[in-house]
Chain A
Amino acid sequence: MSPALSAVHKSRLTQLEELEAESIFIMREVVAEFENPVMLYSIGKDSSVLLHLAMKAFYPAKPPFPLMHIDTTWKFREMIEFRDQRARELGIDLIVHSNPDGIGNKITPFTHGSSKYTDLMKTEALKQALSKYKFDAAFGGARRDEEKSRAKERVFSFRDNNHRWDPRNQRPELWKVYNSRINKGESIRVFPLSNWTELDIWMYIHKENIPIVPLYYAKQRPIVHRDGMMLMIDDDRFPLNPGETPKMEQVRFRTLGCYPLTGAMYSEADTLEAIIGEMLESRTSERQGRAIDHDQSGSMEKKKKEGYF
């Protein structure tokens, strides 16, 4: 028998510290068990937290995997600048992939509609890149509190040869004993931030002083109002409808994506504390700014089955 283990008071870790430790454990588990992991880096605040946690998990080494950004070619320019700067500062390899077929066929969110565009430039591009580099594990920054279909996502989420997710056939996941076994061609998507909420993300960015894209802070930006959303005119590819004139407005973004599909919000919050303060009063959840989830109830579930992150 092992010696009796008597009990004492539980650790004094706060919930943020517990979440951090859990995420670090998950990242180390992946690096220990997979041959060719990658971190999907979307440049947003969740990615910023993910990257910061990776720096912590492998310190004093650098994270032993590259970052990969699926570039739809319609990201905000400030996002791309931020991406390149972060990768340079941290000395981490950055892979950028865009769907060449999509570019060849001049797929844009304006001409092909948000759903077809997203499928080709995000889902399809991601699958291409994962296959091309033969990654067997891919970190993503998704959180379970984001959307209903995410609430049942595993931390280690199995994908078949075609990168598909089968919600009816998920591996049971007990304790923190993650099953990393796969056959050749199959892969695992790993979500170290599963148990974080949007508020946790902001609190952690504040606590750890993590750099984020300036678009999260309020500033005067050129805006048009369209379909109930405030869209920022980030470059001259944005086709204005008759009668639409960009107007400078004080706005910020709660989530970041492709600029023609990402709605801004009026805000005066130009500091982290102001953002948190604004969030506390806000009564709308963050994904509302994205056109992609509204199409139909259950639409995220559908996209995930097809391989969307």
Chain B
Amino acid sequence: MSAVPMQTSQVRQFIGRQETKGLLRFITCGSVDDGKSSLIGRLLHDSQKILEDHMAAVKADSQRWGTQGEQIDLALLVDGLQAEREQGITIDVAYRYFDTERRKFIIADTPGHEQYTRNMATGASTADLAVILVDASRGVQVQTRRHSFIVSLLGIRHVIVAVNKMDLVNYDHAVFQNIAAECRHFMRTLGIQDVRVVPVSALMGDNVVKPSLNMPWYEGQPLLEILDTVDVSDDRAEDLRFPVQYVNRPNAEFRGYAGTLVAGHVRVGDQIMSLPSRKTTKVKEIVTYDGSITEASAPMAVTLTLEAEIDITRGDLLAHPDRAPTVAREFDAHLIWMAEQPLLPGKQYEFKISNQYVRGTVQRIDYRVDVNDLSRHAAGELKLNEIAVCRIALNQAVAYDVYDLCRETGSFIVVDRMNNATAGAGMIRRSAAVKAHEVHGNVYTEKLEITRQQRANQKSQQPCILWFTGLSGAGKSTIANAVEQELFRRGYHSYLLDGDNVRHGLNRDLGFTDNERVENIRRIGEVSRLFVDAGLIVLTAFISPFRSDRRMVRELVEAGEFIEVYVSTSLEVCESRDPKGLYNRARQGQIQNFTGISSPYEAPEAAEIMLDTSKLHVDDCVAKIIEYLEASGRLKL
């Protein structure tokens, strides 16, 4: 260490300043060529936070990967992973940190390349402000509009447009003015109120940290000065929102509700309501490790104890009773799709919203939004990086706000249950127009309904679904029919769903595309579920070749109620039987997507019952199924 040690008083001063610093999170958007990495590199460099050994590594790397000839390539301070350095592009969201005298900054650095919409949305989701780069020599591009749209969609209310590479247009005021006017215009159409446009040269350092001598006509602040002083304080909602995260019960005496205030304030003695139950009580204590406090505000993480013991679990939301959020099962949302496998309406997904997972479906896609020109298009499915307005239907009611009012209680992710991937992200726009399941005020409609158990008891049976699956010609319908006859003979109540009574009626409007097939099975599943509710033993006989579809139905009903019957007759045997001549036609190419020939059949991995009709007679098959039903307590006569 060559430097003279700092005086203790200086250090104390510094610590004092450091402890009062606020935080600003911002996102930078721009394409490979806009010089975004250089701009961030310049911010880090000129705000003197680049440490010397990093600098030395960059010097070495510049000679190896650099695009700036002999000059040090500041972009290399920023581009993280080896793979992307080799490709010369940024392929994921990277977070950078620096601070000034006034603030600490967290930069979400996101790529601007077209196929990486999902990364931009990720970066924008936690940002208060966006820096959007425009290349002065190329003007406003399609991607500039795209970035602005995503920024507005994710609820960012402050935008700085950095018109970069002003050195390439000779610091021309007119060029800047045209770009600025165009940007301001379409930002306004997107509803972004706070827009500032700054002419910069990241390469030369103009107006990044220090004012530019090359552009005396610019009277505004340099970029960093704006970042340092911009007021984002009015972005947060004031009504209390406290999603319960964890119930803390170290012993019988203490029951605390741990969570983070995502909005508003709470005081000891406040009357609060738990949603969705709408039960109310008062706040007894606000507990923290550093002692109990009388008042807490967002975004503090605290533990509340309550006066009355009301039943509250993780995922419930605490609010003030007169300022409570909406409680409903359905809502409309903007959805950004982030998975390779497309979103299929009707398919069951998991939605994580306000600290809980709830199953549900995207009931329909109202329209897809083209991010380039904001035009709306009809869509039957949603592909990677596409954005749409959708109706979401959850399996249970949840408390939420509209995203524009509160980000934390208005956002959710969609998890694909097959591979656990984060498949999508959503922002709630409004409650569904028909709020059939919504709780109104404090009034509950008292429903006197006959329970499913009562119905089942009346019939002396436990309802279930016998789901027959197997190739065409395997014998599904034959066996299902025979089982139903046997059940009828014994006095049980059943119903058989097959191609004849479903495809010709309920599902007459469906063809054979992938999502129509999913919809076909979904409807059959829903109908089966209704029949199970009605107390019936349901038999279905459909090829249902995809595991995911069968699993979707399995999850619609209670455990044990879905009984998969795999009729495992081999393709050779089925093809030799060919009762309807379908295999013959498929082999000749007259039928497309024929299961077993030109479309796969995914055999069950753990079917409850397996039947090979090349070895078993129909009567044996029926006996096996009846035996299973008796053993599992389904039949009670």
Contacts and interface: CB of A to CB of B under 8 A. Distances in A.
> Interface of chain B, helix or strand or loop or mixed?
mixed
B6 A172 contact: no
Interface stretch (B94-102, B219-227, B440-448): B94-102
Interface in B315-340: 322-326, 338
Interface residues of A, number: 83
B101 to A, nearest CB: 13
A149 interface: yes
Nearest to A11: B297
Contacts of A31: 246
Interface in A240-299: 265-268, 273-274, 276-278, 280-285, 288, 297-298
Nearest to B290: A56
Given A56-B288, A175-B125, A288-B53, A21 B303 contact: no
Contacts of B8: 273-274, 277
Interface in B49-89: 51-54, 57, 60-61, 80-83
Contacts of A281: 1, 3, 5-6
A167 B83 contact: yes
A112 interface: no
Given A2-B324, A177-B413, A149 B80 contact: yes
Contact of B104 (A1, A15, A176): A15
Contact of A5 (B1, B81, B96, B405): B405
Contacts of B406: 5
B5 A10 contact: no
A194 interface: yes
Contacts of B301: 20-21, 24-25, 28, 57
Interface in B497-532: none
Given A10-B236, A18-B299, A21-B260, A152 B5 contact: no
Contacts of A167: 81, 83, 92
A40 to B, nearest CB: 21
A171 interface: yes
Contact of A7 (B95, B103, B238, B287): B238
Contacts of B338: 172
A301 B82 contact: yes
A224 interface: no
The 4 closest A-B pairs by CB, nearest first: A61-B250, A10-B233, A15-B23, A277-B6
23 contacts: A2-B324, A2-B326, A3-B322, A5-B406, A7-B235, A8-B234, A10-B234, A13-B299, A16-B21, A25-B301, A28-B245, A56-B288, A144-B95, A172-B425, A175-B125, A177-B413, A179-B415, A181-B420, A197-B97, A278-B1, A281-B1, A285-B53, A298-B81
Interface of A: 1-22, 24-25, 28-29, 31-32, 55-62, 144-145, 148-149, 151-152, 167-168, 170-177, 179, 181-183, 194-195, 197, 199-200, 203, 206-207, 265-268, 273-274, 276-278, 280-285, 288, 297-298, 301
Interface of B: 1, 3, 5-8, 10-12, 14-15, 18-23, 51-54, 57, 60-61, 80-83, 91-97, 99, 103-104, 106, 118-119, 121-122, 125-126, 232-239, 245-246, 248-250, 254, 256, 258-260, 263, 287-290, 297-301, 303, 314, 322-326, 338, 350, 352-353, 355, 357, 401-402, 405-408, 411-413, 415, 420-422, 425, 430-431
